[in-house]
Every structure is written in structure tokens, then in C-alpha cells.
Amino acid sequence: MTNSIFPKMFTIQQEFESHALANPQQELRRQLIANKTLEAIKPGMQVAIAMGSRGITDIVALAATLVDELRQRGAEPFIVPAIGSQGGATPEGQAAVLRGLGITEEKVGAPIRSFRKVVKLGETSCGLPVYCDELAYRSDLLVLINRVKPHTAFKGDIESGLMKMMAVGLGKKESAQAVHSSSKEPAEAILESARLLMQSAPVGFGIAVVEDAYKNTSKIAVLGPGEIEGAEKDLLRAARQMMPQLPFDELDVLIVEKMGKNISGAGMDPNIIGMGRRLAEYQGLKPNIDRIVVLDLTEQSQGNAEGIGLADVITQRLVNKVDFEKTYINCVTSGFFRGGMVPITIDTDREAIALALTGYAADRVRLVRIRNTLKLDELDVSLGLLDEVRTKRNLRIVGERGQLAFNRVGDLI
């Protein structure tokens, strides 16, 4: 294949408002002390800290701060994975997911205790069963840490956050299956399940984190059980306002260097690439992207490539990293069968991108290259988008990269 089909590229910066906290750990300590959350901690208490699978920027530092505060009061904290069916739904796999995010005993000061057994807490008014990790349920106190953000598959007043962690994550595969297969709207099923869990399990408090468009921690809220639901609605609105977006409504081709579960529950966030790719009822919402090429899978995904089916073209390198057992368990449990379907697979980056460019002229194609769907402050765009770039006040051209270039084995440089 000749290089003439590949467009000239330019690096642009997309400017967002920064809302970064100056010192997230200090802010967490301040809130833990100010609202008297830690007064309930007694020496010898077994405190379970529920943690999820997303790549939250300051998660290791925040967890270590919490553990330190608990240990200062004589508690014995430990980490429990609250990640539904991820990690192949096995204790070993789920512990590995957390370790892949840097959550280790050495870094946070508390061991990971990953256990297969769950306790059935009861059923909601509509008959939806609710489960909880047995170690978390039998602890003296349960603490939750999670980021609040828009969900990748539904819209509501409550989406991803502490409530979803209680409803879906803490009950492992059983809760994930129950909520995703419920006839209730997802947001309603999450609310009812989380409320029952808070009534039945020893939930002491939750730590909600909101990140800005640069993935800086912008808000931290330490919330008692009675505060979580109401506060999370406000935090979700804030998260939505700060969420980054692609700066173009219409694209011919989007190149995504890496997808992964640490980036989004769907591998690539449908809020970024277009919700219509995930759910038919959101067809017509912007952006509209004709073809998506994905080149690789993050190591932190542990082979779980749920969401691979949102792409149109992928590389053999990505497929070689897929653990199909883990992927299928996650897709079937969530009801997102399409997420496990393998798109057109091509040997090299060069050939995959060339295929996606079929039918488009190099000087006119509307192409964007991104690292992943979280990192959107710096993008590479094709010559065909430059005129539109110049009309947008929040975009700035910072360099010319030349034609898309590849090394001798066909990897994108």
C-alpha cells in the first residue's frame, strides 16, 4: 500500500476549564475529620473498603490516605473488589484487576481480600434479588470509594458511582446479572438495589470522586448512607458538565490507540464515540463517526475486551491480547452481547487504518487520532478538519506531524 492514501496530520490542543483540587489527599483527610465520619471507628474493627475497576487518577493516593486514617484509629482495613463479573468473575481474576490499577498492599497499606461467596440480602419490591460480597457483609464497617460519572449505557439521575457500586459491583456476578437482566429501567433497578444494600449491610460511608476534563480530581465528597443518593445526583450533574468531548460532530474515521476496562466499562466510552453505537434509542446523537479503528488493548484490562464490538476495524495485536472467557462472561452478564463481537481484524496498524480510509480522499477525509476516550485534550487531526479547527475558540494548532507514519512492521508511530 502506498502512503498517498494517508492524510497529513496536525496536533491540536483542546482547552477545557480546569477544576483540579490542589491536594486531593489533604481534602479527603479534611472531610473525614470535619464531618466526624471517623468517630465511629474503634480499635480492632474490621473495615472493608470496596473499590472498583476504573482508572481513577488519584485512586491509589486516596485509598492510602483512607487506610492511614483508619489505622491511626486502630482499625484493620482491607480491600474488597466491587467489580461485578469482571476478572472472569473469579477471586484471583478480580484481585488481579485491582493490582493492575496499582491497588496493592504495598501501595495502599491494606491487603486485598477477594472472595467468591456472596450473601443474598433480600429482594426489592419488584422481586429483584440483592447480593453483597460476604467479606464486606460480615465486616464491622463497609466503606465505598468510586468515581461519579455518566454511564455508558443509560441515562438517569443516578448513573455510575457509589449507588451503582452497591447495586452491581459489590454483589459480584450475581448482582450484575440480576440488575442487567431486570425488567426495570437500569437507573431504577440500581436505586432500589442500592437502597436495600444500605439497609442490610454495614455501610459506614462512601467517598465520591469527580474528575474534570483533564482527569484531575475536582471534587471529593465523604457521604453517610443517608446522604449518598441525593449528593450523587448533584455530583453527576457536575461530572456531566466537566466531561470532555470530541470537538467535532461528524467524523469519517476515528483512530483509537487503546481501549480497555480501566478506561471505560465499554472499553471506549460511548458518551465520547456516540451512544448510538451502544444503544439504538440513541441513534442520531452526536458525534456521528462512520468508522472506528482500535489498535490495542490496555494491560490493565487483564484481557477483558468488552466493547470490542463498538469498533469497525481492529488489529491482530489487539485480538492476541483478548481473554475471550473473561470478555464473554462480562458481556453476557451485562447483557451487552455485541460488546464481545470481533470486528474486521487486520494484521497491522497500517493495513487497518488504510482499510478504514477506503473511499476517502487524503486531503479531505475528516480523521481524528486519540490515545483513548479519556484523553481528549490533545488530538491529531487530518488536513480535512483544519478549517473547522480554526473556527473553534477552544482549539489550538500546536504542530504539524506530517503524513500518518508507520515503522517497518506497520505499527503506527
**How do residues 303-348 score in pLDDT, each as one tens digit?**
999 999 999 999 999 999 999 999 999 999 888 899 999 999 999 9
Domain boundary among 242, 273, 294: 242
SS3 335: coil
Whether the model clears a pTM of 0.85, i.e. scores above it, the answer is yes
Tell me the backbone φ, ψ of residue 108, rounded to 5 degrees. Answer: -105, -15
Domain count, the chain: 2
Same domain, 198 and 259: no
Same domain, 263 and 379: yes
Alpha carbon distance 277, 345 (integer Å) = 19
If 0-12 CB within 10 Å is exposed, 13-18 middle and 19+ buried, where does residue 148 land?
Answer: buried
Stretch 244-258: mean pLDDT: 97
pLDDT digits (tens, 9 = 90+) for 119-162: 999 999 889 999 999 999 999 999 999 999 998 888 889 999 99
pLDDT digits (tens, 9 = 90+) for 184-205: 888 899 999 999 999 999 999 9
Same domain, 301 and 272: yes
Same domain, 128 and 210: yes
Please report whether residue 192 resides in a domain.
yes
pLDDT score, position 286: 87
With a cut of 50, say whether residue 408 has pLDDT above it.
Answer: yes
Range of the domain at 278: 3-16+244-403
Same domain, 270 and 140: no
Domain boundary among 220, 242, 264: 242
Same domain, 228 and 360: no
Distance in Å from the first CA to the final CA of the chain: 17
Please report whether residue 379 resides in a domain.
yes
Domain boundary among 181, 208, 242: 242
Please report whether residue 187 resides in a domain.
yes
Please report whether residue 411 resides in a domain.
no
pLDDT score, position 147: 96
Same domain, 256 and 130: no
Alpha carbon distance 250, 29 (integer Å) = 44
With a cut of 70, say whether residue 2 has pLDDT above it.
Answer: no
pLDDT digits (tens, 9 = 90+) for 55-111: 899 999 999 999 999 999 999 999 999 999 889 989 999 999 999 999 999 999 999
Same domain, 304 and 384: yes
The mean of the pLDDT values for the chain is 94
With a cut of 80, say whether residue 282 has pLDDT above it.
Answer: no
